[in-house]
Amino acid sequence: MVTDKEREDYSTERKEIFKKRKEFGDKLVKDFPELFIYKDDLRKSLMQYGAECQPGWFPMIYELTKKVSDIAKRDKTETQVVQIKEKFGGLRYYINSGTYDILKLVGKYEDKSYKICEVCGKPGKIDESKHWLRTLCAKHTKERIR
């Protein structure tokens, strides 16, 4: 049974997460404008919603984005990140185009996300106990209410 208190905490927590997502998304756009300003119009990209996952993955996403930016500069290729989100417990990092090295790197980080708790960033694994698949550490699997 989920209590009213738990429901209320969940709602407050969601609001906090949305705020953090937006802040993190804004930081990515600020630090790597060439990857996110979609032909000078951010509205054409889905990054207006920020990174659509929980903060545990932010460091990994930032690291990936830095590497994508470096390779794109090195290879003189125009790559743009269209959307970053969680799906079926794993990271999805959508780009509109990229060299083989960039695609390989993105694939490597998407695989890596299945071993990192999306909530706190500690080692985790996929949790199938509830309706949604999520990658979580032992603590967050236990505390999970939905």
DSSP 52-87: BS-GGGHHHHHHHHHHHHHHHHHTT----EEEEEEE
67: number of Cβ within 10 Å: 16
116 binds Zn ion (CB under 5 A): no
The residue range among 16-24, 33-41, 63-71, 136-144 that interacts with Zn ion, by the rule CB under 5 A, is: 136-144
Candidates 82, 95, 103, 120; binder of Zn ion (CB under 5 A) is 120
42 binds Zn ion (CB under 5 A): no
Least gap, CB of 126 to Zn ion (angstroms): 13
The CA distance from 10 to 17, in Å, is 10
Candidates 57, 98, 137, 141; binder of Zn ion (CB under 5 A) is 137
Helices (H), the chain: 4-31, 33-36, 58-74, 100-112, 138-143
7: number of Cβ within 10 Å: 12
The residue range among 6-14, 31-39, 82-90, 110-118 that interacts with Zn ion, by the rule CB under 5 A, is: 110-118
Candidates 58, 86, 117, 127; binder of Zn ion (CB under 5 A) is 117
Q: Which residues bind Zn ion (CB under 5 A)?
A: 117, 119-120, 137, 140
